Amino acid sequence: MKNMKMKLARTERELSQEQLAEAVGVTRQTIGMIEAGKFNPSLQLCLSICRVLGKTLNDLFWEESI
Amino acid sequence: MKRFKKVVDERQELELLRIEHVVFWIMFWGLFISFIVQSMFMDVPFRQYLPEFVIFMVSCVGVIIGSVKKGQWDFYTRPTMKTYVLTSLIGSVAFGIIFGIAQYVRTEFYEDKILVLVLTTVIMMAVIFAAIFALSALVGHMVKKKQERLADAYGDDEDE
């Protein structure tokens, strides 16, 4: 499932995938694959992404039932 | 339909993968050293270690194909010209030292012809350098192409 919340949070911060990737120490492909729902990041990587984007784990990685 | 259902959780799976990774590389380099010793120092006929050699080559090709398919290069380096040159240099120098020693120890012809031995070794080193460089540059090029394709497929413009 695509992670649109993360993509939205990133674009709100005006960060490219490349910039976010550099900030958290991974490759651009990894960020792209997380956003596309093709890769499940570790908790440590999730926390790094949250820190850079100024969000909580709930904001970015919690799936709410509609 | 999955034939075998995994009975390990994600922590156990990760630990098993790490164990298999370490053991694979021990086996890989062990086999490689075994070929060098058998072929260069022990005069063992090639057909005697042919089956292990075939398995070794299949694993080499498997690692290369798998890495290219997933756009992966290595744990510690990136596919750059510096890496290709360094890898080729280390490989060819290591080969040259072993080849030189083996030829000197095994072949009486070189005992009073050190210059010929040095020249032969340098030629062999140049050939090995070119082979390693060509292979690593080719694989590196394919890996980078795959990485670009992955970045494009999941990039910022993916939805547009």
At B157 the pLDDT is 66
Is there a domain that residue A46 lies in?
A: yes
Nearest residue of B to residue A40 by CA position? Answer: B10
> Measured between alpha carbons, how far is B13 from B92 in angstroms, rounded to an integer?
38
For residues B145, B148, B153, B159, the Cα torsion angle rounded to the nearest 10 degrees is -150
- Residue A52's CB is within 10 A of a number of other CB atoms, namely 17
Q: Distance, in angstroms, between A29 CA and closest chain B CA?
A: 5
> Measured between alpha carbons, how far is B40 from B101 in angstroms, rounded to an integer?
9
Q: How confident is the model at residue A3 (pLDDT cuts 50, 70, 90)?
A: confident
Domain encompassing residue A23: 4-57
Residue A40 clears pLDDT 70, i.e. is over it: yes
Q: Distance, in angstroms, between A26 CA and closest chain B CA?
A: 13
Q: Determine, for residues A33 and B155 on separate chains, whether the beta-carbon distance falls below 8 Å.
A: no
At B160 the pLDDT is 43
Token couple for A40: 């499940």
**What are the residue boundaries of the structural domains of chain B, listed by start?**
1-70, 71-160
Our count of domains for chain A comes to 1
**CATH number where A39 lies:** 1.10.260.40
Chains A & B: contacts with CB separation below 8 Å = 25
pLDDT > 70 fraction of chain B, expressed in percent and rounded: 96
Token couple for B73: 């290069």
Average pLDDT, chain B: 91
Residue A36 · residue A43 · CB < 8 Å: no
Query: How many residues are listed for chain B in this entry?
Result: 160
Q: Which residues of A touch B153 (CB under 8 A)?
A: 32, 36
> Measured between alpha carbons, how far is B158 from A36 in angstroms, rounded to an integer?
9
Which residue did the predictor score with more confidence, A63 or A33?
A: A33
Q: What pTM was estimated for this model as a whole?
A: 0.82
Nearest residue of A to residue B150 by CA position? Answer: A29
Q: Determine, for residues B155 and A27 on separate chains, whether the beta-carbon distance falls below 8 Å.
A: no
Short-list B139, B23, B51, B155, CA closest to A32: B155
At A43 the pLDDT is 94
Instruction: Summarize pLDDT for A47-57 with one digit per residue, the tens.
Output: 999 999 999 99
Is there a domain that residue A36 lies in?
A: yes
Which residue did the predictor score with more confidence, B3 or B37?
A: B37
Q: Determine, for residues B155 and A38 on separate chains, whether the beta-carbon distance falls below 8 Å.
A: no
Which of B17, B145, B146, B154 to mutate to test binding with chain A, by most A CBs within 10 Å of its CB? B154
Which of A3, A6, A29 to mutate to test binding with chain B, by most B CBs within 10 Å of its CB? A29
At B146 the pLDDT is 95
CA B86, B92, B95, B97 torsion-angle sign? negative
The torsion angles phi and psi of A16, rounded to 5 degrees, stand at: -85, 165
Is there a domain that residue A66 lies in?
A: no
Q: CA B38 → CA A32, B15, B150, distances in Å? A: 48, 34, 43
Nearest residue of A to residue B10 by CA position? Answer: A42
Q: Distance, in angstroms, between B8 CA and closest chain A CA?
A: 18
Q: CA B53 → CA A52, B35, B56, B136, distances in Å? A: 49, 8, 5, 21
- Residue B74's CB is within 10 A of a number of other CB atoms, namely 13
H-assigned helices in B50-113: 50-70, 81-106
Chain B from 64 to 83: CB within 8 A of any A CB: 71
Q: How confident is the model at residue A65 (pLDDT cuts 50, 70, 90)?
A: low
Instruction: Summarize pLDDT for B19-77 with one digit per residue, the tens.
Output: 999 999 999 999 999 998 998 888 889 899 999 999 999 999 999 999 999 999 999 99
Residue B93 clears pLDDT 50, i.e. is over it: yes
Question: Which range among A22-26, B114-118, B139-143 shows the weakest confidence by mean pLDDT?
Answer: B114-118
Average pLDDT, chain A: 92
Is there a domain that residue A24 lies in?
A: yes
Which residues have C-beta within 8 Å of that of residue A64, sequence separation ≥ 6? none
Nearest residue of A to residue B11 by CA position? Answer: A42
Is there a domain that residue A53 lies in?
A: yes
